[in-house]
Amino acid sequence: MWKGRFSEDIERTVLDFTQSLDLDWRLALADVICSAAHVRMLSRVKLISPQECGAILSALKQIADEIKSGKFVPKVELEDVHMNIEARLIELLGSVGAKLHTGRSRNDQIATTMRLYLREELSKLGLSLCHMLEVLLRCAERHVDVVVPGYTHLQQAQPISLGHYWMAQFWAFLRDSDLLLYALKGLDESPLGSGALAGSTLPLDRHYAASILRFSGVAENSIDAISQRDYMLDYHHFAVSFMLHCSRLCEDLIIWNTSEFGWIRLPDGFCTGSSMMPQKKNPDVLELVRGRASQAIGCFVSMATLLKGLPMAYDRDLQEDKRSLWASLELLASVTDVLPPLLSRVDVDERRALDAFRDGFALATDVAEYLVAKGVPFREAHQKVGQAVKWCLERGRALNSLSVEEWKVLIPEVEADLIGLLVPEAAVERRRTFGGTAFAEVRRQIKSGKGRLEKALSEFEVYRECVLEALLGQVFTFSVS
Ligand code: ARG
């Protein structure tokens, strides 16, 4: 394409080194759509005739069909997706096809094409994330009344509703959906018409092209438009956060599934055995999700370091933005595929869970707060109950096995009404502060969570209306009158 200025052919090794087809051929349909919008705009501002526009559009439609059927085999010699498609157009139309690139650079072209493609990919991912949130809500509903030990420092702390735990996971993943939406909003303005960096001497109508591509707006500055990849970094931020949340969730389930904890059971179909030890059932899926979180972090770092040190404008380095992006998207698609069905089948052994409260120490805070309600200052109450715990430890007694008489010797303020409070269910039921673990409070959370999920879902749905397939159905329709 740039033969004019050069006096020798490009070296083969250079061709192989600089080509990007392995990374960008998946953008082919998005690129055709981008070209169709551009050519319609060229016709509107009379840079090409309606007849030429019609001819280019029908050739582009044919090219789109060739891409879909796999008939279009791109050539490495043509370097990238953009030049392959343009060359095919010229092959089909001759000099009319050569008008397509009027007022356009591959810099604004790739910036636009990536946004079109990602708009679809990220909204798809958003819907998968919503599905995972829905599964977490259902887990919460199923386990509202199941009482399990809650941990801090991985030491037993206080009894909680398992529904409360699932909702804690839900809120974290809901925030992730906000991060993903933020990335989607960030990419929702059109760079097309920015040219190489400075715009064009030709009377391009960027707003018209943007409306065909169903962007909400037009990027304000042509230099910024072709150089910024902020929405990619935003996506990677989301991906890191999401995978860290997955890792944390998996880690909990791995621990609770050990024979030492043992109060959840994972579905057999989501576990693997040992080649040597016949008794083994390993939580490999959870371990791999936890392990692969590192890749999402790697992709984020890869993207950030790619951007670091670039001068302000297009630099070929940016071609590499796709590598980490595709790897990360593929990872997240696989995780959102495998994790929800596993989660929906986590079984609870309620007897084992209650068994975990054997020593009763998880109820110590309840005794201290009971004393506060009787007028004892909290620090004093804390001290007294600490001594009671020590007394129990020395005698191998459970904290909730003490008779009223024994309590009275240790803490004179205790009365008979304490005994009924020292069961895990009561400990949960009485934590009624807003956002606390009380059963009723968890039910309130679930209801509120459902509303928030519906809102997130409808926000992702909006982007689903401009998927590539929908745009392909509209973008070639053009009247030559
Ligand atoms: N293959 C390039 C990329 O993905 C397209 C833009 C090339 N622009 C250029 N001036 N060489 O970034």
107: in domain:
no
**204 touches ligand 1 (CB under 6 Å):** no
CATH of the domain at 38: 1.10.275.10
Residues 250 and 342 in one domain: yes
Residues 92 and 180 in one domain: no
Q: State what percent of residues in the chain have pLDDT above 70.
A: 99
39: in domain:
yes
pLDDT tens for each residue of 60-95 = 999 999 999 999 999 999 999 999 999 999 999 999
Residues 126 and 82 in one domain: no
pLDDT tier, 457 (very low <50, low <70, confident <90, very high otherwise)? very high
Phi, psi of 409 (to 5 degrees): -65, -40
- Catalytic residue flag (residue 207): no
pLDDT confidence of residue 480 = 53
Residues 63 and 185 in one domain: no
432: in domain:
no
Asked whether the CA dihedral 125, 131, 137, 139 is positive or negative, the reply is negative
**Closest atom of ligand 1 to CA, residue 314:** 10
pLDDT confidence of residue 208 = 97
439: in domain:
no
Q: Please count the structural domains in the chain.
A: 3
Does residue 7 carry a pLDDT above 90?
no
- Catalytic residue flag (residue 200): no
- Domain of 118 in residue numbering reads as 113-194+216-355+445-465
How far is the centre of ligand 1, averaged over its atoms, from the C-alpha of 19 (Å)? 9
For the chain, the first-to-last Cα distance in angstroms comes to 33
- State how far Cα 446 lies from the chain centre: 21
Tell me the C-alpha distance between 393 and 175, whole Å.
42
Q: What is the mean pLDDT of residues 195-211?
A: 98
286: in domain:
yes
Using a cut of 0.85, tell me whether the model's pTM lies above it. Answer: yes
pLDDT tier, 10 (very low <50, low <70, confident <90, very high otherwise)? confident
**318 touches ligand 1 (CB under 6 Å):** yes
In sequence order, which residues have a C-beta less than 8 Å from that of residue 17 and are 6 or more positions away? Answer: none
Which range (111-120, 180-189, 271-280, 285-294) has the least confidence?
Answer: 271-280
pLDDT confidence of residue 192 = 98
Residues 321 and 268 in one domain: yes
Tell me the C-alpha distance between 342 and 267, whole Å.
7
Does residue 6 carry a pLDDT above 90?
no
How far is the centre of ligand 1, averaged over its atoms, from the C-alpha of 227 (Å)? 11
How far is the centre of ligand 1, averaged over its atoms, from the C-alpha of 314 (Å)? 8
136: in domain:
yes
**110 touches ligand 1 (CB under 6 Å):** yes
CATH of the domain at 322: 1.20.200.10
* Average pLDDT of the chain, as a whole number: 96
**119 touches ligand 1 (CB under 6 Å):** no
How far is the centre of ligand 1, averaged over its atoms, from the C-alpha of 191 (Å)? 14
pLDDT tier, 479 (very low <50, low <70, confident <90, very high otherwise)? low
Residues 75 and 152 in one domain: no
pLDDT tier, 310 (very low <50, low <70, confident <90, very high otherwise)? very high
Residues 264 and 153 in one domain: yes
How far is the centre of ligand 1, averaged over its atoms, from the C-alpha of 115 (Å)? 14
Q: Which two tokens stand for residue 330?
A: 């593929």
479: in domain:
no
pLDDT tens for each residue of 386-445 = 999 999 999 999 999 999 999 999 999 999 999 999 999 999 999 999 999 999 999 999
Domain boundary among 102, 129, 161: 102
Better-scored residue on pLDDT, 244 or 281? 244
Q: Among 7, 69, 95, 153, which one carries the catalytic annotation?
A: 153
pLDDT tens for each residue of 343-388 = 999 999 999 999 999 999 999 999 999 999 999 999 999 999 999 9
Residues 293 and 345 in one domain: yes
Domain boundary among 57, 73, 102: 102
Residues 167 and 251 in one domain: yes
Residues 373 and 402 in one domain: yes
Tell me the C-alpha distance between 150 and 260, whole Å.
15
CB 48 within 8 A of CB 474: no
Q: What is the DSSP letter of 282?
A: B
4: in domain:
no
Q: Among 274, 294, 401, 448, which one carries the catalytic annotation?
A: 274
Tell me the C-alpha distance between 391 and 382, whole Å.
14
Residues 342 and 370 in one domain: no
